[in-house]
């Protein structure tokens, strides 16, 4: 009997497993919330792009666009498209890191044959806290939520930049239209 089995308390393994499940659920909820916000932002960006494309031809006769206005008019949709691409990056699927079904079946077979040296609860705690040796499910869920958050922040920054460009373009257009 190994030292690990002698000192094993099922309640302790259950506590670690429950904490790992809670952490994974927390990070999954963070990731899901960021994804929902990103989808909403993507819809708003779509509306802005549609409005921007329909407004483009309204005042061409009234205003002569200079180089700065043309630059702003070009930079605005580019910023909106960049923000939309960041939102799509948030919504893209991420790889999942949990114990594989084949590994779980193998462990179940060993447990049934009584050749598995450690208790099932200890094995489950290891699966949640350490993954399959290459991945850690808790860290993967945390990293996923953090990466989605970073992409969402980029999308928001690009949106703010696009709105500032759009506002500046509008002010320049109105000033030039009033001057004529």
d(CA 11, CA 167) in angstroms, rounded, equals 61
Structure tokens at 114: 């009584």
pLDDT attached to residue 133: 56
Cut 0.85: pTM above it: no
pLDDT attached to residue 1: 42
pLDDT attached to residue 32: 93
DSSP 13: H
Rg (CA), the chain: 27
Q: Measured at the alpha carbon of residue 35, what is the angle toward residues 153 and 31, in degrees to the nearest 5?
A: 85
Q: What angle in degrees, to the nearest 10, is found between the helix axes of 10-55 and 137-179?
A: 20
pLDDT attached to residue 159: 95
pLDDT attached to residue 176: 75
DSSP 92: S
pLDDT attached to residue 154: 96
Whether 86 contacts 151, CB under 8 Å: yes
Instruction: List, for the chain, all residue ranges whose pLDDT scores fall below the cut of 70.
Output: 1-11, 55-63, 95-100, 104, 107-108, 110-135, 180
Tens-digit pLDDT profile for residues 127-178: 666 655 566 778 888 888 999 999 999 999 999 999 999 898 888 877 877 7
Q: What are the residues whose beta carbons fall under 8 Å from the beta carbon of 129, sequence distance 6 or more?
A: 16, 17, 20, 136, 137, 138
């Amino acid at each position: 009997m190994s030292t690990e089995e002698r000192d094993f308390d099922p309640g302790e393994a259950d506590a670690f497993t429950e904490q790992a499940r809670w952490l994974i659920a927390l990070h999954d909820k963070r990731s899901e919330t960021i994804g929902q916000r990103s989808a909403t932002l993507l819809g708003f960006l779509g509306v802005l792009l549609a409005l921007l494309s329909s407004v483009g031809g309204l005042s061409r006769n009234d205003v002569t666009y200079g180089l700065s206005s043309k630059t702003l008019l070009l930079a605005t949709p580019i910023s909106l498209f960049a923000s939309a691409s960041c939102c799509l990056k948030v919504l893209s699927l991420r790889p999942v890191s949990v114990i594989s079904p084949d590994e779980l079946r193998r462990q179940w077979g060993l447990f049934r044959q009584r050749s598995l040296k450690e208790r099932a609860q200890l094995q489950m705690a290891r699966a949640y806290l350490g993954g399959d040796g290459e991945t850690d499910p808790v860290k993967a869920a945390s990293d996923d939520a953090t990466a989605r958050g970073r992409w969402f922040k980029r999308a928001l920054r690009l949106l703010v930049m696009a709105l500032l460009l759009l506002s500046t373009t509008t002010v320049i257009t109105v000033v030039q239209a009033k001057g004529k």
